[in-house]
Amino acid sequence: MIEEEMTDHQEPSPHSLGRSNVSEVDAIVTHDLVRHFGDVRAVNGVNIQIPKGEIYGFLGPNGAGKSTMVHMLCTLLAPTGGRATVAGFDVESDPAKVRLRIGVALQEAALDPKQTGSELLSLQGRLYGLKRREIQRRVSELAEMIDLGDFLDRMIGTYSGGMKRRLDLAAALIHNPEIVFLDEPTTGLDPVSRLQVWSEVRRLNQELGITIFLTTQYLEEADELAHRVGIIDDGKIVAEGTPTDLKKAVGSDLILVRVEGDTSDAVAALSTVPGVQNVEAHAGELVITTSTGSATISPVAVALAGTNVVVRELTLRTPTLDDVFLELTGTHIERADAQEESS
């Protein structure tokens, strides 16, 4: 008997509950979730609690464990340890019930190039048990949403990357899921297509109340869309909260100085400048935290002139999620990506 073949396939009605020991307000809950690949701990004791109707941004560099989390939560991978419930059902013991309630758009658009867009959507609808009329209605609604026009009746192999992404998103929505997993939905998209996806994600959440679990390596994407953000690094959640709260924790203003030379002297000099709350040196860059950026930037420049570093660039800005990541891990998220790719 193939694994899971005997799992529940006798549900009385769409979206029926029959759930036990779970909160009715939480869409996704994990307790000490772990996933090993041999000696590698891709996910290492993750605890998250996502209420219904929230957009949860899961942020981290490549290889941090984002996709492994998604694969576990959408039942493609079994956890090595811990527990996860999605839509109130355990991903390990009730995967069939979970699948009925979720829609997933994986990192690479998983499409069949030898079907047309409408054939693919219809097949998805059939596999989710939709009746012929329901499928026609949903395909028509989703066709308007993804705006593919006549392309919907052409082979998917002829689509551009952006069109494939939009079709993939439509395929994830054909059955009106309660929860949608979007694994890096804008990676590889041009800026216009990226904005279109953002707009659609917002609309799905605001108008339909769909809970969205969004993994991304783009800081502005998490900042723009997510109600709350979980930052994962090396398989562990290193910070969680609203983007505003996370950025507030870093400080209200940041003065960034790109320098050449030994920074220890500069760090000591800057620490004595009035208004400076904190100074950190990271690989040729000084990060100065202050609550009064515009008033402090001039004294900072003067203080630096008296040290032996050469100032290449000096900027004042408010904190971003990258600064949060830097504060927590000691590296920029983009640099973490580059290190991952080169290793």
Partner 1 sequence: MTTTTDSLRSEGSGAVIGARPAGIFRDLSSIAGRALRAVPRDVTSVVPPVFIALFFFVVNIATLKKVTSSIPHFSYTSFEIATAILLGVTGVSRAPALVLDIQSKYFDRLLLTPVRRTAILVGHMVADVSVAAVLTVPILVLGFILGVRFHGGPLGVLGFIALSSLWSLAFAGFGYAIALKTGNPAAVNSTFLLFFPFLFLTSSYVPRSQLSGWLSTVAKFNPVTYLLGGLRSLEVGGGAVWVPLGQALLAVGIVALISMTLCFAALRGRVKRS
- In the three-class reduction of DSSP (H, G, I as helix; E, B as strand; rest coil), residue 6 is classed as coil
When the beta carbons of 59 and 156 are compared against partner 1, the nearer one is 156
Cα separation of 181 and 56, whole Å?
A: 10
When the beta carbons of 96 and 314 are compared against partner 1, the nearer one is 96
112 counts as binding partner 1 under rule CB under 8 A: yes
- For 226, phi and psi rounded to 5 degrees? -80, 140
Cα separation of 218 and 216, whole Å?
A: 5
Which region among 125-133, 214-222, 307-315, 328-336 touches partner 1 (by CB under 8 A)? 125-133
126 counts as binding partner 1 under rule CB under 8 A: yes
Cα separation of 185 and 316, whole Å?
A: 31
86 counts as binding partner 1 under rule CB under 8 A: no
Give every CB contact of residue 309 below 8 A, 6+ residues apart in sequence: 259, 260, 261, 262, 263, 265, 266
Segment 3-42, which members bind partner 1 (CB under 8 A)?
3-5, 8-11, 13-15
> Can you tell me which of 43, 111, 266, 309 binds partner 1, judged by CB under 8 A?
111
CB of 33 to partner 1, least distance (A): 14
**CA distances (Å), origin 322, targets 38, 59, 223, 255, 318:** 31, 10, 10, 14, 11
326 counts as binding partner 1 under rule CB under 8 A: no
> Can you tell me which of 18, 113, 161, 330 binds partner 1, judged by CB under 8 A?
113
> Can you tell me which of 18, 32, 93, 137 binds partner 1, judged by CB under 8 A?
137
When the beta carbons of 162 and 293 are compared against partner 1, the nearer one is 162
> Can you tell me which of 44, 68, 118, 124 binds partner 1, judged by CB under 8 A?
124
Q: How many CA atoms lie within 13 A of 15 on its CB side?
A: 7
Instruction: Please work out the total of residues on this chain that contact partner 1, with binding judged by CB under 8 A.
Output: 63
Closest alpha carbon to 300 in 269, 325, 332, 258 = 269
Range 280-293 burial, b when 16+ CB lie within 10 A, else e: ebeeebbbbbbeeb
**CA distances (Å), origin 22, targets 26, 47, 143, 181, 256:** 8, 15, 36, 20, 46
> Can you tell me which of 41, 66, 175, 228 binds partner 1, judged by CB under 8 A?
175
CB of 229 to partner 1, least distance (A): 24
Q: At what angle do helices 243-250 and 321-329 cross, to 10 degrees?
A: 60
H or E element that contains 40: strand 40-51
CB of 4 to partner 1, least distance (A): 7
> Can you tell me which of 204, 226, 257, 333 binds partner 1, judged by CB under 8 A?
204
Which region among 94-102, 219-227, 275-283, 288-296 touches partner 1 (by CB under 8 A)? 94-102
- Beta partners for residue 50, in sequence order: 28
> Can you tell me which of 144, 150, 244, 283 binds partner 1, judged by CB under 8 A?
144
Residue ranges in contact with partner 1 by CB under 8 A: 2-5, 8-11, 13-15, 74-78, 95-96, 99-102, 104, 106, 108, 110-115, 119, 123-124, 126-130, 134, 137-138, 141-142, 144-147, 155, 166, 171, 173, 175-177, 196-197, 199-200, 203-204, 207-208
